[in-house]
């Protein structure tokens, strides 16, 4: 895009991205629409059972254009938090971003079976 | 608006407000069904003789979108791509748009279709919509009243 990086007089709101949550027996798939965000700006944190997504968009104004005031403007940031009802493998969370769409794969933690010996009295 | 010279940033900014009103009317008059929402206009910019629009198309690739120009109307058609594994997965929560979409934007000027440029990057479609130059004004001589014998 033909853009510059000077500070634009645009509204830079923080919005909640639209999200789908899909599930398989092994994993949860979270898909979030974050148009305008780039990979470096994506921040995913998992604290206790709360997964928080944050992303920012580039603050750019096309060179030689004047902003019109009718449209809401490209969001400055996206932010949303989710409480996970499922136990997640925290070390295997994977996220990819393509065409402004973020996909997060959260593997479920496999239940650990403890065999308890029963003794006869 | 009619008195603004074509191509002045002010007239295009005014027109941008009209686009906003058009969008609100579409939203209010649209059927209360599961019709997929049309792409949202995120930002409008103006310069002499042209507008620049930014629309949100998250998930779409360039091949998913078509632009058609007819006079002063520009129609954007395409489809929100479904996740390949969606059919096999259990949907726990769904907010994102799915299916085909179409959106027509009407401008206050004739679009110079040959110079329209569109670029899709990071889920944001940027379209430069130039106006066709208006023909030069023609002075018309008023003839005197014809004499009848």
pLDDT at B29 over 80: no
- Residues of B whose CB is below 8 A from A3: none
DSSP label at B111? B
Closest to A50 (Cα-Cα) out of A27, A79, A77, A15: A79
State the smallest CA–CA distance between residue A117 and chain B in angstroms.
Answer: 38
Task: Indicate the Cα dihedral angle A82, A86, A92, A95, nearest 10°.
Answer: -30
The answer to whether the beta carbons of residues B71 and B131 sit under 8 Å apart is no
- Residues of B whose CB is below 8 A from A66: 9, 13, 45-47
pLDDT of A11 reads: 55
Closest to A43 (Cα-Cα) out of A32, A31, A56: A56
State the smallest CA–CA distance between residue B60 and chain A in angstroms.
Answer: 6
pLDDT of B134 reads: 82
DSSP label at A85? -
- Residues of B whose CB is below 8 A from A4: none
pLDDT of A53 reads: 95
The distance from CA B134 to its chain's CA centroid, rounded to whole angstroms, is 20
pLDDT at B138 over 60: yes
- Residues of A whose CB is below 8 A from B62: none
Q: Does A42 touch chain B (CB under 8 A)?
A: no
A9-67 pLDDT tens trace: 455 789 999 999 898 888 889 999 999 998 999 999 989 889 999 999 986 778 889 88
Q: B149 versus B144: which is more confidently predicted? A: B144
Task: Give the C-alpha separation, A74 to A64, whole Å.
Answer: 18
The tokens describing B105, both together, are 């934007």
**A 84-113 residues with CB below 8 A of B?**
98-101, 103
Task: Give the C-alpha separation, A18 to B19, whole Å.
Answer: 24
pTM of full prediction above 0.80: no
Q: Which of A6-15, A110-119, B80-89, B115-124 has the highest mean pLDDT?
A: B115-124
pLDDT at B55 over 50: yes
What mean pLDDT, rounded, does chain B reach?
80
- Tell me which residues of chain B have a C-beta less than 8 Å from any C-beta of chain A: 9, 12-13, 16-20, 40-47, 51-52, 54, 56-61, 83, 85-86, 88-97, 119-124, 126
pLDDT at A95 over 60: yes
Q: B26 versus B116: which is more confidently predicted? A: B116
With CB atoms and an 8 Å threshold, state whether A21 touches B60.
no
Cα distances from A2 to residues A40, A62, A76, B102, in angstroms, run 20, 6, 19, 27
Q: pLDDT band at residue B33, thresholds of 50, 70 and 90?
A: very low
pLDDT at B86 over 50: yes
The tokens describing B9, both together, are 């940033």
pLDDT of A10 reads: 53
pLDDT of B8 reads: 44
Probe site for chain A from B16, B21, B43 (most A CB atoms < 10 A): B43
With CB atoms and an 8 Å threshold, state whether A73 touches B123.
no
Q: A3 versus B118: which is more confidently predicted? A: B118
Burial class of residue B101 (count of CB atoms within 10 Å of its CB; 0-12, 13-18, 19+): buried
């Amino acid at each position: 895009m033909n853009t510059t990086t000077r500070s634009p007089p645009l509204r830079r709101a923080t919005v909640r991205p639209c999200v789908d949550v899909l599930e398989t027996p092994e994993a949860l798939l979270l898909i979030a629409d974050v148009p305008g965000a780039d990979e470096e700006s994506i921040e995913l944190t998992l604290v206790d059972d709360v997964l928080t997504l944050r992303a920012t968009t580039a603050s750019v104004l096309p060179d030689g254009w004047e902003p019109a005031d009718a449209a809401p403007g490209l969001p400055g940031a996206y932010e949303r938090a989710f409480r996970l009802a499922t136990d997640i493998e925290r070390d295997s969370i994977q996220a990819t971003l393509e065409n402004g769409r973020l996909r997060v794969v959260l593997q479920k933690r496999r239940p650990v079976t403890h065999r308890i010996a029963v003794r006869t009295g | 608006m009619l008195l603004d010279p074509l191509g002045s940033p002010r007239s295009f900014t005014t027109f941008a407000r009209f686009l906003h009103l058009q969008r609100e009317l579409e939203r209010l008059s649209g059927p209360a069904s599961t019709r997929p929402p049309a792409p949202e206009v995120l930002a409008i910019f103006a310069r002499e003789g042209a507008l620049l629009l930014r629309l949100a198309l998250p998930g779409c690739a360039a091949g998913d979108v078509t632009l058609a120009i007819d006079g002063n109307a520009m129609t954007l058609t395409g489809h929100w791509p479904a996740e390949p594994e969606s059919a096999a997965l259990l949907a726990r929560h769904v907010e994102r748009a799915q299916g085909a979409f179409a959106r027509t934007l009407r401008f206050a000027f004739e679009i110079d279709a040959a110079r329209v440029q569109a670029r899709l990057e990071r889920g944001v479609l940027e379209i430069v919509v130039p106006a066709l130059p208006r023909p030069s004004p023609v002075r018309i001589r008023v003839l005197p009243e014809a004499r009848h014998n």
